Amino acid sequence: MYEYKAKLDRVIDGDTIDVIIDLGFKMTTNQRVRFLDIDTDEIHSVKHDTEEYKRGLITKKFVEKRFAENGNEFIVRTRKGRITGKYGRYLCEIVLGDNTMTLNEQLNKEGYAKKL
């Protein structure tokens, strides 16, 4: 497992974010990452009058709130071997400073996401 300090750039939806990852030695990389092992309702590929879209927006707002509560700074964890998903995004666990579980686990536990 690899861990990096990161800063939120923007929340795309409930399980995808744009991040600035600190690689050390004053080097950073901007990446779009997907939360490992969970799936949330979509907001980009569904009609805006659907229940899925409404649930997706609620989840996105919850994710934005959780990052804001932590100053938009966090740790991204990647696992050795399973690095990218179907669309080439890095698959990561998100570790916020104020919680003992990952954001991935919290989204699943609180009903915002389904475990894959």
- CA gap 116, 112 in Å, rounded: 13
pLDDT tens per residue, range 87-96:
889 999 999 9
pLDDT for the residue numbered 86 = 86
34 versus 80: which is more confidently predicted? 34
Each residue's pLDDT tens digit, 7-39: 999 999 999 999 999 999 999 999 999 999 999
The rounded mean pLDDT for the chain is 96
Each domain of the chain, given as residue ranges in start order, spans 2-111
Share of residues in the chain with pLDDT > 90 (%): 88
* Angle, CA of 40, 111 and 16, to the nearest 5°: 25
**Does the structural domain 2-111 have CATH classification 2.40.50.90?**
yes
* pLDDT class of 4 with cuts at 50, 70, 90: very high
DSSP H helices, the chain, are 51-69, 103-109
